[in-house]
A and B are shown apart, each in its own frame.
Chain A
Amino acid sequence: MATLSTDRPATPTDKPVLDKRFKAIEIVIKRNHYRQDALIEILHKAQESFGYLELEVLEYVAHKLQLPLSRVYGVATFYHLFSLSPTGKHSCIVCLGTACYVKGAGEIIAALEKKLGVKLGETTSDGEVSLMSARCIGACGIAPAVVFDGEVAGRQTIEAVCDRVTNLMA
């Protein structure tokens, strides 16, 4: 997780505006009329643009909304969907909701951890695959469910999941 150092340059906002990803965030900020209560909306957009919330991005948002960085950082770390570190090129999200759990999601995770050599929530050292979990993706009818790169796959087995991951990395 990013640590906050206090001795960074005080004007984080001048340079990055050139980056068009910051532009995308700025558009959303403007559309929300710089309202501080739109912080979560804006962080969603920021994460979409950058893939994760790096410190520079949090500082940018704090500056634009005139909020203390601690407040922005506090919100970013509170919610599970915000990530403060980069994720892999591919994602493999195993649903750990109750329906999937009773149908063996725990075993699927154990098999994937072994296969990828990472723990849940981590990314392989080559930056290829992130192994994550979710809390019920609303596909309980086809439990156990796994989401590969945004695509839901139902009724998964250990073999099927391992095959898919091999394909992802190929």
Chain B
Amino acid sequence: MIVRENCGKINPERIEEYIAAGGYEALAKVVLNLTPEEVIAEVSASGLRGRGGGGYPTGLKWATVAKMPTGQKYVICNADEGDPGAFMDRSVLESDPHRVLEGMAIAAYAVGANHGYIYIRAEYPLAIDHLQTAIKQAKRHGLMGSQIFGSPFDFKVDIRVGAGAFVCGEETGLIASIEGKRGVPRPRPPYPAVSGLQSEPTLINNVETYANIAPILQKGGEWYASIGTEDSKGTKIFALTGKVENAGLIEVPMGITVRCIVEEMGGGIPDGGTVKAVQTGGPSGGCIPAEKLDTPVSYKSLLELGTMMGSGGMIVMDDKTSMVDVAKFYMEFCREESCGKCIPCRAGTVQLYGLLNKLLNGHGTTRDLELMENLCYMVKETSLCGLGQSAPNPVISTLRYFRDEYEALIPS
């Protein structure tokens, strides 16, 4: 374990225990001995990719922000954890908040920022509480504030609490929300790295991404890159839930098979049922059918199956689960969470939901199925932000592997 190595071992409300476990050593090393370029080189060498869903190479993102002219820059930690059925970030923030703060401070040093924000969902009061305590303690220990470790590097962090909107996990929506506005996404480019919070260059990374940073700087990028597969390095936390014996969080090296996660670590399906599919990527993802369980988990392999890594939700469905109903569940989610800015997503999700409902009620026709499939691609290709672009994924994916379930719903 890398990210969760301290979880459950140290008291998250005592900075002394984090420090005793080697905490803030990486920050000291970075601030005192390394140049920002060297830090970014190390992160790039690690091969770390964003854990928030997109999987963008972290080193590359840092380099883009660092390249922007000196001046006001921000780092943001995305702790909105919107995928319904995932709670990795919550656990990291609750049980090891300093790890995230240290990662953010290192990032700020590397890109030339002096101000950070953590955008966290209001549904996580304990995590908010532990973060506030952690920030206070870090300030008292001189690990946050001005002239950290006696160097010219200043860094402070503020917490912003969300108010329940999935679309605020999208980076431009999140920035609007931090500015106290409706969390509506805007077209990119310009990317936040160029023009983000208050139109200044802004680095946005996910909680788990930041939690990987201190160990990478401690042990080196090469060490990190030795774990995992060709395109996916390090470990990943999954929230294993659904019809599985041992539900909970697991941190596994990339490249492990889905079967190993579900059957060996998860203990298989209770009451002797059989796995029908495993859903990953939440409302933006898709499913892995039982016959593909031996696929190793990596960004690339999951994309090839028509799903995605996502933030790490992994929901096991047994033979009693209706895949069409699951698709409807996600479509309802996207319909409710669509911010309404662009028509394909605002109207398309309503129509897709209606068609799925019609099918499930036994009133669907072959024509409806065709219409639905076409509409999926239209919404995917013409929506403004990631929410709309990926909203049809659960339908497309279940159609790909379980078309017979859809067809069986059409009265002959």
Contact = CB atoms under 8 A, between A and B. Distances in A.
Chains A and B are bound partners: yes
Interface of A: 35-41, 43-44, 71, 74-75, 78-82, 96-99, 101-103, 134-143
B410 interface: no
A155 B247 CA distance: 12
21 contacts: A37-B179, A39-B180, A40-B162, A41-B161, A44-B161, A75-B181, A78-B339, A81-B122, A97-B85, A98-B242, A99-B239, A99-B247, A102-B315, A136-B84, A136-B123, A137-B123, A138-B123, A141-B87, A141-B241, A141-B248, A143-B241
B359 interface: no
Contact of B85 (A37, A39, A44, A98): A98
A94 to B, nearest CB: 13
Contacts of A103: 242-243
Nearest to A135: B84
A80 B164 contact: yes
A135 B163 contact: no
A109 to B, nearest CB: 12
Contacts of B330: 98
A145 to B, nearest CB: 11
Given A81-B164, A102-B317, A141-B241, A36 B85 contact: no
Contacts of A44: 122, 161, 163
B333 interface: yes
Given A36-B180, A75-B181, A81-B122, A102 B87 contact: no
B280 to A, nearest CB: 11
Interface string B315-334: 10100010000100110010
B180 A140 contact: no
Interface of B: 81-87, 90, 122-124, 160-166, 177-184, 239, 241-243, 247-249, 279, 282, 313, 315, 317, 321, 326, 329-330, 333, 339
Residue picked from B163, B178, B239, B321, most chain A C-beta under 10 Å: B163
A139 B90 CA distance: 10
Contact of A98 (B123, B165, B313): B313
A102 B84 contact: no
B241 A98 contact: yes
Given A79-B165, A99-B247, A140 B183 contact: no
Given A99-B241, A102-B243, A75 B84 contact: no
Residue picked from A39, A135, A142, most chain B C-beta under 10 Å: A135
A44 B85 CA distance: 25
A81 B165 CA distance: 8
Nearest to B282: A98
Contacts of B166: 135
A48 to B, nearest CB: 11
Given A101-B329, A141-B241, A143-B247, A75 B317 contact: no
A2 to B, nearest CB: 18
A139 B241 CA distance: 10
Contacts of A143: 241-242, 247
B180 to A, nearest CB: 4
Chief secondary structure at chain B's binding surface: loop
B242 A75 contact: no
Of all A-B residue pairs in the complex, the 6 with the closest CB atoms, nearest first, are A98-B85, A79-B163, A97-B84, A99-B241, A80-B164, A39-B180
Contacts of B177: 40
B183 A134 contact: no
A98 B86 CA distance: 9
Given A36-B180, A75-B181, 10 more contacts: A37-B180, A74-B182, A79-B163, A96-B84, A97-B84, A99-B84, A102-B315, A136-B86, A137-B123, A143-B247
Contacts of B247: 99, 140-143
B161 A40 contact: yes
Residue picked from B329, B330, B339, most chain A C-beta under 10 Å: B329
B90 A138 contact: yes
A135 B183 contact: no
Nearest to B89: A138
Nearest to A82: B163
Contacts of A74: 182
A81 to B, nearest CB: 4
A138 B312 CA distance: 13
Nearest to A37: B180
B242 A102 contact: yes
B87 A78 contact: no
Residue picked from A74, A103, A140, most chain B C-beta under 10 Å: A140
Nearest to B313: A98
A106 to B, nearest CB: 8
Given A138-B90, A138-B123, A138-B124, A99 B85 contact: yes
Nearest to A41: B161
A142 B241 CA distance: 9
Contacts of A135: 82, 84, 123, 164, 166, 333
B339 to A, nearest CB: 8
A140 B85 contact: yes
A78 B84 contact: no
A138 B164 CA distance: 14
Contacts of B83: 98, 136
Nearest to A39: B180
B164 A40 contact: no
B175 to A, nearest CB: 11
A80 B90 contact: no
